[in-house]
C-alpha cells in the first residue's frame, strides 16, 4: 500500500511536470510572435541611440535664469551636441510655450537628471530617438 502511494505520487509529479512544460511552452509562443513583429533597428540607428544615451549619462551643467524654454533647449543642443526637438502640440497641452521662462541651476549631474528637473514640473518628458531627444508630454 505504501509503495502504491509513492508510486502514484511520482506519476502525479511527472504529469504535473509534463503539463507545466507544455503550459510554459504555450505562454512563450505569443512572446516569440511579438519578438518577430517588433520593429528592429539598423546598426546605424542603434549606434545613434547609444551615442545619445552616452550623452545623457555624461556629467552636465545648466545655469539659466528666466530664459525662454526654446533658448534653454538650444543651449543644450549647442553644449552637448545633441539635437533637441520640441513637440509643440504636446507642449501646448501641458501649458508650455517656447517662450515659457525657465530658471534652473544644476552642476555635475547627468544630463538626463537635468532634463528631468527641467521637464517634470511642466508635466513634460523626453524620449530618445535616432535623430535626437524629443521633448513631449
User: What residue numbers bound the domain in which 3 lies?
Assistant: 1-38
79 plus 13 within the same structural domain: no
33 plus 47 within the same structural domain: no
DSSP string of 79-106? HHT--EEE-HHHHHHTT--TT-EEEEEE
49 plus 34 within the same structural domain: no
111 plus 129 within the same structural domain: yes
Instruction: Tell me how crowded residue 83 is: count the other CB atoms within 10 A of its CB.
Output: 13
62 plus 113 within the same structural domain: yes
Which pLDDT band holds residue 25 (cuts at 50, 70, 90)? very low
32 plus 47 within the same structural domain: no
- Whether 35 has a pLDDT exceeding 80, the answer reads no
83 plus 52 within the same structural domain: yes
92 plus 123 within the same structural domain: yes
Which pLDDT band holds residue 29 (cuts at 50, 70, 90)? low
- pTM score: 0.72
Which residue is associated with the grid cell 524654454?
69
85 plus 68 within the same structural domain: yes
- How many structural domains compose the chain? 2
65 plus 113 within the same structural domain: yes
49 plus 33 within the same structural domain: no
Amino acid at each position: 500500500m505504501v509503495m502504491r502511494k509513492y508510486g502514484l505520487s511520482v506519476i502525479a509529479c511527472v504529469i504535473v511536470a509534463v503539463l507545466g512544460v507544455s503550459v510554459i511552452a504555450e505562454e512563450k509562443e505569443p512572446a516569440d510572435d511579438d519578438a518577430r513583429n517588433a520593429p528592429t533597428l539598423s546598426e546605424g540607428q542603434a549606434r545613434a541611440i547609444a551615442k545619445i544615451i552616452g550623452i545623457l549619462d555624461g556629467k552636465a551643467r545648466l545655469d539659466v535664469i528666466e530664459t525662454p524654454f526654446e533658448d534653454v533647449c538650444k543651449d543644450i543642443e549647442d553644449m552637448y551636441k545633441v539635437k533637441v526637438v520640441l513637440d509643440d502640440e504636446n507642449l501646448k497641452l501641458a501649458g508650455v510655450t517656447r517662450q515659457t521662462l525657465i530658471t534652473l541651476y544644476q552642476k555635475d549631474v547627468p544630463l538626463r537628471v537635468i532634463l528631468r528637473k527641467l521637464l517634470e514640473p511642466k508635466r513634460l518628458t523626453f524620449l530618445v530617438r535616432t535623430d535626437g531627444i524629443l521633448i513631449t508630454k
